Structure 1
Amino acid sequence: MVTAECIKTEYPLHWCVWYNDYKNLRDLLSRKEHDKEKKDNRGRTPLMLAVTLGHLESTRTLLNSEANVNCENLKGWTVVQEAVATGDPELLQMVLESRDFQRYTSRMAGIPELLQRLKEAPDFYVEMKWEFTSWVPLVSRMCPSDTYKVYKQGSSVRIDTTLLGFDHTSWQRGNRSYVFQGHNDGATMMEIDHDTQQVYCEQMRTTEDSLGMLLPNEESVSQRLTTPIVTTYVDTEKISFERNKAGMWGWRSDKTEMINGYECKVFGASNVELITKTRTEHLTETDKARSKNNKHPLQNFLGIAEVGESQATALLPNNEEFRNSSNPCNITPEEYFDCSVDLEAQGRDIGRPKEVNVKVQKFKANLWLCENYPLSLPEQILPIVDLMAISSSHFAKLKDFIQMQLPSGFPVKIEIPLFHVLNARITFGNIFAMDSEVAHVSKVQEEDRLTCVLDECLFKCPSGYSQIGNGIDGRRQFSMEEEDDLLQFAIQQSLIDAGTEKDEVDIWEALKAQKPSRPETPSFLGEEERQLQRAIQASLELYQHDVNNLEPQNNSPDTDSEFHKALLLSQQDQERKRQREEEERLEEQRLLEEILALSLTEK
């Protein structure tokens, strides 16, 4: 058994936190001789331990000493998520403020370094086309697509986009440019709105004054405390890459495809697992019931594997007793800090007993890699992805994926999962504006290479545009978590808007393209499940029309014409795809016959 003296010697900060001895904790931190980021044998830093135990004073002391808020425990839960689980609004407010400040300052501090890395790389122009695909009817057509135009000259970067967001009824389109300019003493960011001819300019600052618009309000804190804690991530540990094959009847060869004029090797990434974890122990029974009723319809239907995890709540007489208890399982510090005691096997832990729901779905990601692409992934593209990942959850997921040990070559095309039913397909094209002309972009053919030349006016405020103060002022800033929520909500709205009052269909019938076999929908289905079913049924009926009958039918008043047109276009795409596959099959068969004929010819 580990003794108290051993713990004090090995984990002095943790020991003070355990007993919420914030005065001694403050003294130890002031000496700066102890590592405030040291993890105990359970994988918790002093701050993570203080938050999990719900010790307000110790948490405040550590945050005042700038302890890292952006860390995770062994289970992948962040300090903010553990603060939500305590149900303490004051604790959560404090942690959120520090989290936002640390995140902002680290991002701002990192931008000049990213721009400096780019300064040393050759200039370039490239287009990144983002497409969203899904096997659920209607979803692919309703989800957005966009082409990012990326300009890089020295330590300046410009990124053009047309997709602005979602306003709860439709996707917002516009024409905006984001310009980052590196300086010796920092960096400047401009957001240029070409529609209104206005420019928001921001100097990259790391002072408290720049965070006034980022502080969490009471509404956001309350919203976190009354909704489940959800985290979604791709498990990269089991992923393996292998070459896709082409050919028939045993004559198999490594598959290659032409992507935007470049020959690419095609790889499949197997064992890609998208994991969604949901915690609800901080919710009241009313909140849990409301959360269940308001559950995203895609989450209800499309979690392929679902596992429930919980800790031994039976140790407690009722839920009220642990609302203010930091250690309901009565774990002693000697037990906690003794690595030979397997608390997990005993179903015991500090903090509120966890109620965790886990959903796992396996995907197969795809890669198209080119050996002689004009761009360098680590030197030119990764800094751009890092720059965009600061504020975009989709770029953050792309960054996580391409930072793995990929096969050699430039990923001209990447297909990765975003959510349970949604994939993102990213394709690089029009490199150096060679495929189609781009204003202010030219190229010079040298002896051994092609050089891209960009006009400096691309990175300046356009003449005639008005400049409107700081980039934060007057504009809604979305966190990456909110961006994910908006996209999922948009998918949900697309499905609901497409629904009709016709017969409903469940997900398994949808996969088989069958009409419902039962006379009515079971009473246990919620309203949002019914909306999803109606959407799927409506889309299936449209898909089952004759492929050759490509004109909209006048006898279907229940169907929105725009959805109908989208589905007809989809039918055309599917037909063209089938024709291409048939042509490839016939070509392979012809080649095989030639090979067989040659093998039978006497030499």
Structure 2
Amino acid sequence: MAGPGPTFPLHRLVWANRHRELEAALHSRQHDIEQEDPRGRTPLELAVSLGNLESVRVLLRHNANVGKESCQGWAVLQEAVSTGDPEMVQLVLQYRDYQRATQRLAGIPELLHKLRQAPDFYVEMKWEFTSWVPLVSKMCPSDVYRVWKRGESLRVDTSLLGFEHMTWQRGRRSFIFKGQEAGALVMEVDHDRQVVHTETLGLALHEPEALLAAMRPSEEHVASRLTSPIVSTHLDTRNVAFERNKCGIWGWRSEKMETVSGYEAKVYSATNVELVTRTRTEHLSDQDKSRSKGKASLESRNIGRPIEMSSKVQRFKATLWLSEEHPLSLGDQVTPIIDLMAISNAHFAKLRDFITLRLPPGFPVKIEIPLFHVLNARITFSNLCGCDEPLSSVGAPAPGSAVAASGSPFPCEVDPAVFEVPEGYSVLGTERSEPLRDEDDDLLQFAIQQSLLEAGTEAEQVTVWEALSNTRPGTHLPQGTAFEEQLQLERALQESLRMSTETGGPGSPHRTPPALAPPSFEEQLRLALELSSREQEERERRGQQEEEDFQRILQLSLTEH
């Protein structure tokens, strides 16, 4: 196969791995480091796919974009993992996190400047995770993001920090951003340890070597990626359509309205929302592939090892509650905050992708969107300026003050003390006690697995997660636990089935099914999905019956007249 032609000088040097000449060419600043070849690949994407580590190192030193996705939708880091080279993964991962951090810091002044133009406010964003799979939804975590905004100062509080070692990490953290003449001050306040990490934006961006060194991943992190499938979850909204929900059966049907956080809201369904989950396994050993249990098909590619990939597409209905009376501005006040959080938070990234669509009129006081193939997120805005639950930090503006005279539809005074370091806390400067958390979708799914079944045994956790997602984390269990795993899952599924079909109520005694031959994996998964399928069929049957009743009533009324 011939390499790229002379019209792509950087690609030609990468193809031959002539990294010293590549270095000289980039120093001359005469070439576009992000130029795409006829297949849509940048020089960095080509170098990673070829496994040319020296060229990758040169390109990354010259700030080639690690966040670029290929025409097939794969990120540079995912392509690096597919090579199976630990050094390649470590290098790309380090620069990926470094570029994310610098982008986050660089975007803060623009965010604060934009917010300064908008009225001050306080609002709460409640995140609830739900699922259509039996036994799952009630065990999902939830969190409330509390947001204060005053002038060019912003504070966001959270209690669900992420996850580590397969468990949800809880704690009380505040992220404070304050505009300054030199840029911005960023503070991460750990209320549990009573310590504060501070960064001055200008200084952080002028110390790239120190920031890059802090982003170096551990050997364990790299090894974990190389022994786990590459998972990509994409929310496809290209064909989305919005429809008003209807209600009523006796008489004329009307457009559905609901009250959310004190505001009348129109209820819309967003149809044709597709969740695409793709899993690649070509970098895994046979043992790792047997643990993942994925059935991947082999796909040809022009360079590098062939892709082994399985794909799943599921269609969902998202739901929106839109209020035209709500005083918050989605574009001026809320979207900038979501943009900031989305840089390092997978939840907010999916929310941003959805709310940037052309929505019907109104503010989304509540929105429910799919996150993964078994998990939805429901986000509700509430307690605007402490109207539901009063706060000492938020109050009505004094008569004659600038806030009172601003003409804001919801004037409120935010106490400037909420943006200061609490008394008695230790200020540690820019040194962090832990690296920035990685919120990639594959790691998030493992966290969900642990959260769903944290009360059970190790055997239960692995088996039920296999039934829900057809994947399995990289834990090595003794061969003797397999039979017990099967029985635990069967008992859980039988209990779910019993509760949905018995008339005696949930308090009736439960008989453990006889321990016969352990069911196959396919049978376990079939049982789990059958429960959800029955519920869906029943909902559709009721909806069809309601529509038929309405048509009969309508026809009868027309006949009588």
Q: Same fold (TM over 0.5)?
A: yes
| Structure 2 unaligned blocks of 5 or more | 398-403, 469-481, 513-534
2:383 is the counterpart of 1:430 = yes
Q: C-alpha distance in 2, partners of 1:448/1:600?
A: 54
2:436 is the counterpart of 1:477 = yes
Query: What displacement does 1:483 show?
Result: 5.5
Code of the aligned partner of 2:18: D
* Paired position in structure 2 for 1:95: 92
Q: C-alpha distance in 1, partners of 2:343/2:417?
A: 25
Q: 1:538 to 1:491 in 2, by over 3 A?
A: farther
1:386 partner SS: helix
2:232 partner SS: strand
* Paired position in structure 1 for 2:424: 464
* Paired position in structure 1 for 2:335: 382
Quick check: 1:127–1:430 contact (8 Å CA) kept in 2? yes
Code of the aligned partner of 1:80: L
2:498 is the counterpart of 1:535 = no
Quick check: 1:241–1:270 contact (8 Å CA) kept in 2? yes
Q: 1:213 to 1:546 in 2, by over 3 A?
A: farther
Higher mean C-alpha displacement, 446-455 vs 389-398: 446-455
Cα deviation per residue 1:210-240 (whole Å; 9 max; x = unaligned)? Answer: 3443211222222222221111111121222
* Paired position in structure 1 for 2:123: 126
Query: What displacement does 1:354 show?
Result: 0.8
Cα deviation per residue 1:150-176 (whole Å; 9 max; x = unaligned)? Answer: 111111111222334456686554433
Q: C-alpha distance in 2, partners of 1:31/1:476?
A: 35
2:396 partner SS: strand
| Structure 1 unaligned blocks of 5 or more | 296-306, 312-346, 509-524, 559-573
Equivalent in 293, 310, 314 of residue 298 of structure 2:
310
* Paired position in structure 1 for 2:447: 487
TM-score by length of 2: 0.79
* Paired position in structure 1 for 2:479: none
Query: What displacement does 1:179 show?
Result: 1.7
2:5 partner SS: helix
2:198 is the counterpart of 1:239 = no
Q: 1:12 to 1:168 in 2, by over 3 A?
A: closer
* Paired position in structure 2 for 1:402: 355
Q: 1:113 to 1:169 in 2, by over 3 A?
A: closer
Query: What displacement does 1:540 show?
Result: 3.8
Query: What displacement does 1:532 show?
Result: 4.0
Query: What displacement does 1:252 show?
Result: 2.9
Quick check: 2:168–2:451 contact (8 Å CA) kept in 1? no
Code of the aligned partner of 1:534: R
Query: What displacement does 1:425 show?
Result: 0.4
Cα deviation per residue 1:380-407 (whole Å; 9 max; x = unaligned)? Answer: 0011112222332111111111112222
Equivalent in 73, 79, 82 of residue 70 of structure 2:
73
Code of the aligned partner of 1:462: P
Q: C-alpha distance in 1, partners of 2:484/2:238?
A: 38
Q: 1:271 to 1:367 in 2, by over 3 A?
A: same
* Paired position in structure 2 for 1:316: none
* Paired position in structure 1 for 2:279: 278
Cα deviation per residue 1:168-209 (whole Å; 9 max; x = unaligned)? Answer: 686554433222222222322323333444333333413221
Query: What displacement does 1:351 show?
Result: 0.9
Cα deviation per residue 1:88-121 (whole Å; 9 max; x = unaligned)? Answer: 2222222222222222111111122212211111
1:7 partner SS: coil
Equivalent positions of 1:335-354 (< 5 A) are: 347-354=300-307
Q: 1:466 to 1:101 in 2, by over 3 A?
A: closer
Q: 1:74 to 1:249 in 2, by over 3 A?
A: farther
Quick check: 2:459–2:485 contact (8 Å CA) kept in 1? no
Query: What displacement does 1:466 show?
Result: 3.2
Quick check: 2:122–2:146 contact (8 Å CA) kept in 1? yes
Q: 1:41 to 1:165 in 2, by over 3 A?
A: closer
How many residue pairs match? The answer is: 499
1:480 partner SS: coil
Code of the aligned partner of 1:438: L
Higher mean C-alpha displacement, 224-233 vs 535-544: 535-544
Compare CA radii of gyration and give the structure with the larger one. Answer: 1
Code of the aligned partner of 1:157: L
Higher mean C-alpha displacement, 50-59 vs 184-193: 184-193
Computed over aligned residues only, the root mean square deviation of the Cα atoms, in angstroms, reads: 3.6
Query: What displacement does 1:25 show?
Result: 2.4
